[in-house]
Amino acid sequence: MRSSSVEAIVLKVLDYGEADVIATLYTREQGKLRGIAPNARRSRKRFGGALDLFARLNISLRIREGLSRLEEAAIITLSSHIREDITKVAHAGYACELTDLLLPDGLPNSRYYRLLSAWLERLNSSPPSPADRLFFEINTLNILGYRPELAQCSVCGVPFDGTRPLTFHPSAHAITCRFCAGAGRPVAPSVPERLRSCLVTGRFGTVVFTTEELADAGFILDNLIIAHTGKEPKSLRFLREVE
Ligand SMILES: [Zn+2]
């Protein structure tokens, strides 16, 4: 067991026993971990109500395999505006569940930590938007090495030039040109370019999607994410209901 200081985002909290809390955290320095905060529901001094969903915290802890021991937490931001809006809660809950499902324990990824922090900050300060969700999803897939081919047809290699009709194949997780299309969903020719822009700009709110692009890109990314999580995340179902 070693002592450590980390910056962390609270993904999940669970009351445990009389006064303890078990939290799942995504930390900048140690990746994902679970920790028990003894007496957290009584000790205002050590935790001060900090162990709340979507909060970003500085935490002192003793790292143990399986379940670390949280000793103290200081708030960087509580993201309290997210909790005032059910659609924001749905987006943030989905981002946290994806983090829990897709990121391995104990393996830090500073790029992903920055992306998740930026998404929660964006949700806390702006109205939720489907374009921002796509931005978060395609960057998540890219950082984790799951990015779909966005420059050319996955079968014949013809470049996507923004004019040729395209098709997405949910079972093959690939976008192809019309000539290589079997059964699949037609996709607006501009969608790959739009998603590539999300990877290049690195900032929420800078890529504008048409209604058709939003629907097609949303279909592609939801399918890719379900392929990598192995099942539809519960929070995705909830998000679709409130969207
Ligand atoms: Zn092709």
CATH number at residue 231: 1.20.1440.120
Please say which residue of 77, 105, 139 terminates a domain.
77
> Do 148 and 210 belong together in one domain?
yes
What is the Å distance from ligand 1's center to 85 Cα? Answer: 43
Position 115 in a domain:
no
Position 40 in a domain:
yes
What is the Å distance from ligand 1's center to 206 Cα? Answer: 30
> Do 67 and 144 belong together in one domain?
no
Lookup result for tokens 């890109």 = 217
Question: Phi first, then psi: what are they for 135, rounded to 5°?
Answer: -60, -45
Give the single-character DSSP code of 164: S
Instruction: Name, of 44-53, 142-151, 179-188, the range with top average pLDDT.
Output: 142-151
Looking at the 3D structure of the chain, how many domains does it have?
A: 2
> Do 152 and 223 belong together in one domain?
yes
pLDDT of the residue at 172: 83
Lookup result for tokens 């205002």 = 44
Question: What CATH number is attached to the domain comprising 54?
Answer: 2.40.50.140
pLDDT of the residue at 110: 98
What is the Å distance from ligand 1's center to 175 Cα? Answer: 9
| Tokens describing residue 153 | 């047809």
3 state DSSP class of 9: strand
What is the Å distance from ligand 1's center to 98 Cα? Answer: 31
What is the Å distance from ligand 1's center to 198 Cα? Answer: 24
Q: pTM for this structure?
A: 0.95
What is the Å distance from ligand 1's center to 160 Cα? Answer: 9
In contact, 166 and 187? CB cutoff 8 Å:
yes
Question: Phi first, then psi: what are they for 35, rounded to 5°?
Answer: -140, 150
Give 185's strand partners. Answer: 168
Task: Determine the average pLDDT of the residues in 13-35.
Answer: 96
The yes-or-no verdict on residue 57 having pLDDT over 90 is: yes
What is the Å distance from ligand 1's center to 215 Cα? Answer: 22
